[in-house]
Structure 1
Amino acid sequence: MNFALKSIAVAALSLTLSSAFAQKGETVKIGWIDPQTGLMGPVGNNQLKSWQFFAEKYSQNNPAGVKFEVVGFDNKLSPAESLTAMQAAIDQGVRYLAQGNGSSVAGALIDAVNRHNARNPGKEVIFLNYAAVDPDFTNSKCSYWHFRFDADTSMKMEALTTYMKDKSDVKKVYLFNQNYSHGHQVAKFAKENLNRKRPDIQIVGEELHPLAQVRDFAPYIAKIKASGADTVITGNWGSDLALLVKAANEGGYDGKFYTYYTGVTGTPTALGKGGEGRVYQVAYNHYNMGEPMKTWMAEFNQRFKDDMYTAAIPNVYAALGDAMAKAKSTDPVKVAAALSGLKFKGFNGEVEIRKLDHQLQQPLYITRWQKTDAKHPYSPENTGMTLMPVQEYPAYVASTPTSCQMKRP
């Protein structure tokens, strides 16, 4: 009888342990869908290397005991190509999709993921948004299957204009943005926030230009100079920002730039020393964050001769590891439930995926383009310059309300 009871107890314990570590040793495939070619190809290639770099790091140590593998798909910055890539990824057994470059692409993927999951119960996928910042994605277009790890356009503008409101030298502003949803939103929230916080500031110009098509921004710089603007607010990224600041340097425009993406590939080189003290960035990270980012960036630079700047990526892996451990599964249905409302330790402290809309709540930093010094030594693209932190805002300052009415399964 004692032997029988012991056998039952051992069997029960084995079952419990099996359940607790059901996902241990599994390989979790992440389908990365972003540009590897075209004008924005350098940005995408940098980020693909970052996804693969951190897949290695977090495969070595995560609470779920899983292995991460990244499968890259070149979407050429096209929504149509992205939908084709999404289907190809799913056909290869991918259940987690990652994308960030272009809110037009992200919007198409959110709709496609919603349709796929509704039509294919048992084969659901999760969309990990690491850089597409249109606020609608966590408001009117919010989705249970979508999780955003970047701060959205409205959150960044809240922080940026909170900083700008105390700058008496900001008097005349020119809004210059890419002609797609993100650019429209930057202009919209800039006007709303400045009107509320600094109604004395004049908007002296507003421009939208084609995304990733312009090679010469000199005519635009001439218009900005003619407007008398002392400040430009731009959400431009990639070549569209690098070529803009290059044209500003060459055209002798000495006004200030308040940006979202100064740290992205190509822009530091285009700036050089010409934008010293005049170019600001709002972001959830910067080059001189301290540990563990300091060690990661040094290793990434040594290995790839490139700068790692998309820090949302390690936060995605940290969240997935915690959520999969909590769910005791890699099944997207169970993991989505665990991610919703998850609090976890990110590289930038304790952060939270807000349950209402799946928008990560995190601190934001204002940085200024200046020469490196002993306290801020990291120099992107070997420019001798860096983005030096001038203001940090805790998550609650930059957090914005949501109108999301999420449909949960």
Structure 2
Amino acid sequence: MKLTMKIVAAAAMMMAASLSFAQKGETVKMVRIDALSGLLGPVGASQIKGYQFFAEKFSGAGNPAGVKFEITAIDNKLSPAESLNALKAAIDQGARYIVQGNGSSVALALSDAITKHNERNPGKEVMYLNDSAVDPDLTNSKCSYWHFRFDADTSMKMEAMSSFMTDQKDIKKVYLLNQNYSHGHQVAKYAKESLARKRPDIQFVGEDLHPLAQTRDFAPYIAKIKASGADTVITGNWGSDLSLLIKAANENGYNGKFFTYYTGVTGTPAALGNNGAGRIYQIAYNHYNMGGQMDKWMKEFKAKYNDDFYTGSTIRIYEMLGAAMAKAKSTDPVKVAAAMEGMKVKSFNGEVEMRKTDHQLQQPLYMSVWQKADAKYPYSPENTGMTLVPLKEYPNYISSTPTSCQMKRPS
């Protein structure tokens, strides 16, 4: 009897051990649905290189679960409708991890579609990893259990940005210029709310919304900004919509400050060139001179692709996926999602936490400014001889904002 019990116990221990590493060596298929063509295509093309680069770094022994990450891309042409077709194709190909970021209108469509898919297809659930779409609604009124955001949302970035602007006494008149979709609307909304609270003396002297990724000449907008007397522009523009805006400002003699979210993104450094030193600011969760391991990765990435890596949320997605799969002892999105809720990991700039209540990553933010590269801050994006110099770090508790999310979890 004792011998039988020992054999049973040993068998149970062996089974538990095998289950603990059931996913070791398994390939995790991921599909990124984002623009690879059109005016904003260069951003998506650069970012998929980052995913493929770090898939190699974090596969196998690079993550605690021992899984292999494999990622492919589908061009959605920045269209919500195209994205839904791409989602169906990705699921048909067996992908259970969907990645996206460029365009909150796309993100809202994907989040809704994935939630409905999972409700209708138990056992075939899909998890949505958002690297860049920052509309606060995604983790508030329209939050989904299957959506996890690794960027800081618009309200978080504006909380840090407005705190910095509070101390800039030369800022007196602000112009709001943004893309005409959910993200642009939210940037304007939170800018007005937060500055009214922190610097009620600042005047908003103009506000414009323009079509997303369609405007090729921003000179008319610059003329309006100059006529308004604005000393500062706040914009959430990204990609060509920011690089062409900055180009028009330089060509038409506007010398005011720009407070941005995406100065470091493809195309904008080249558009800035040597201009804008000391007056183009960026609020973000990373910058080009983070130091340590990030510096090594960025140099290696540039040597391999002749391109600049700037989407640090890519790294955090792999870090958290590996940790959650190890904790769940599974690659099943249902178990991985449950394991990722509330998870904390050490990342390239300290500890970050996936807040359980709304699946919004809590992380530090940095205010940086466009300056000439030097020995202390040497990284030069797009070989401009310039860089983003960090001015101030805002720890998690400062950049964090409350959530109204009422999370509906699977039974």
Report the TM range for the smaller structure's normalisation.
over 0.9
SS at match of 1:378: coil
CA deviation digits over 1:371-401, x for unaligned, max 9? 0111100000000000000000001001000
In structure 1, runs of 5+ residues without a counterpart are none
Q: Report the Cα offset of residue 13 of structure 1.
A: 2.5
Matched, 1:25 2:25: yes
SS at match of 2:318: helix
Q: Report the Cα offset of residue 4 of structure 1.
A: 4.9
Show the counterpart of 1:123.
124
SS at match of 1:292: helix
Matched, 1:46 2:46: yes
SS at match of 1:97: strand
| Aligned counterparts of 2:409 and 2:323: Cα–Cα separation in 1 | 21
Q: Report the Cα offset of residue 7 of structure 1.
A: 3.9
Show the counterpart of 2:217.
216
Q: Report the Cα offset of residue 19 of structure 1.
A: 1.1
Matched, 1:67 2:64: no
Pairs within 5 Å for 1:37-116: 37-60=37-60, 61-116=62-117
| Aligned counterparts of 1:131 and 1:8: Cα–Cα separation in 2 | 50
| Aligned counterparts of 2:127 and 2:345: Cα–Cα separation in 1 | 19
Show the counterpart of 1:280.
281
Q: TM-score with structure 1 length normalisation? A: 0.99
CA deviation digits over 1:148-180, x for unaligned, max 9? 000000000000000000111100000000000
Show the counterpart of 1:348.
349
Show the counterpart of 2:170.
169
Show the counterpart of 1:246.
247
Matched, 1:335 2:336: yes
Amino acid at match of 1:244: L
Matched, 1:269 2:267: no
SS at match of 2:302: helix
| Aligned counterparts of 1:291 and 1:89: Cα–Cα separation in 2 | 36
CA deviation digits over 1:96-134, x for unaligned, max 9? 000000000000001100110000000000000000000
CA deviation digits over 1:47-93, x for unaligned, max 9? 01111111111004100010000021000000000000000000010
Show the counterpart of 1:11.
11
Matched, 1:204 2:205: yes
Q: Report the Cα offset of residue 11 of structure 1.
A: 2.0
Between the two proteins, the alignment pairs up a number of residues equal to 409
| Aligned counterparts of 2:122 and 2:2: Cα–Cα separation in 1 | 45
Q: Report the Cα offset of residue 273 of structure 1.
A: 1.1
Amino acid at match of 2:365: L
CA deviation digits over 1:221-261, x for unaligned, max 9? 11111110000000000000000000000001000000000
Matched, 1:367 2:368: yes
Show the counterpart of 2:400.
399
Show the counterpart of 2:135.
134
Amino acid at match of 1:212: A
| Aligned counterparts of 1:257 and 1:220: Cα–Cα separation in 2 | 14
| Aligned counterparts of 2:386 and 2:122: Cα–Cα separation in 1 | 51
| Aligned counterparts of 1:26 and 1:106: Cα–Cα separation in 2 | 28
Amino acid at match of 1:53: F
| Aligned counterparts of 1:10 and 1:195: Cα–Cα separation in 2 | 67
